Structure 1
């Protein structure tokens, strides 16, 4: 699987974890130069508190387009520190 935004691959892995239809990419599969920490958070009733990254490509910023669970609930332990994407980021095989 790969995640792309504005024609640039920001993650690639053969070992994503799919939860609720979203592919969560392992930390080692991320192109970290395209991810900038965000102060945004949200809470999922069963996964826990999510943190966000802004996706940055060629100076363009897609705010909050990536999220992860640094300390997920026990039920979602398999996605700890894995990153998922939305807001126009294309995830495909």
Structure 2
């Protein structure tokens, strides 16, 4: 599967390597082009996934605010709910097209 913004692939991995959590596809960290992500100061804490790290995405010279997110240190109890450790997996929002 691929996460694409305006023809640029931000992440790519076989679907078997991704996780679907609450309707969002999460890509393994190694499959994401980290050069296109910039850590955002936006803060959010999920009641069961813990503290979220948002990222802005580079689209040429523009930064798209909070279009990617990850849980760097989710509580181990949440691994049972998801089925595995999903630390640092990255999901995308808004304009990012995720498809096969």
Q: TM-score, normalised by structure 1?
A: 0.92
Deviates more, 1:47-56 or 1:71-80: 71-80
Is 1:38–1:54's contact at 8 Å kept on the other side of the alignment?
A: yes
Matched, 1:53 2:60: no
**Matched residues, number:** 93
CA shift, 1:36, in A, is 0.9
Matched, 1:31 2:38: no
In structure 1, what is the equivalent of residue 10 of structure 2?
10
Q: Which runs of 5+ in 1 are unaligned?
A: none
Which protein is bigger by CA-based radius of gyration?
2
Matched, 1:66 2:73: no
CA shift, 1:78, in A, is 2.1
Which digits, 9 at most, give the CA deviation of each residue in 1:47-83, with x for residues without a partner? Answer: 1110111010211211110000011122146210100
CA shift, 1:39, in A, is 1.2
Matched, 1:92 2:99: yes
Runs of 4+ in structure 1 over 2 Å off: none
1:81 paired residue among 57, 65, 88:
88
SS in 1 for 2:85: helix
SS in 2 for 1:28: helix
Q: Which runs of 5+ in 2 are unaligned?
A: none
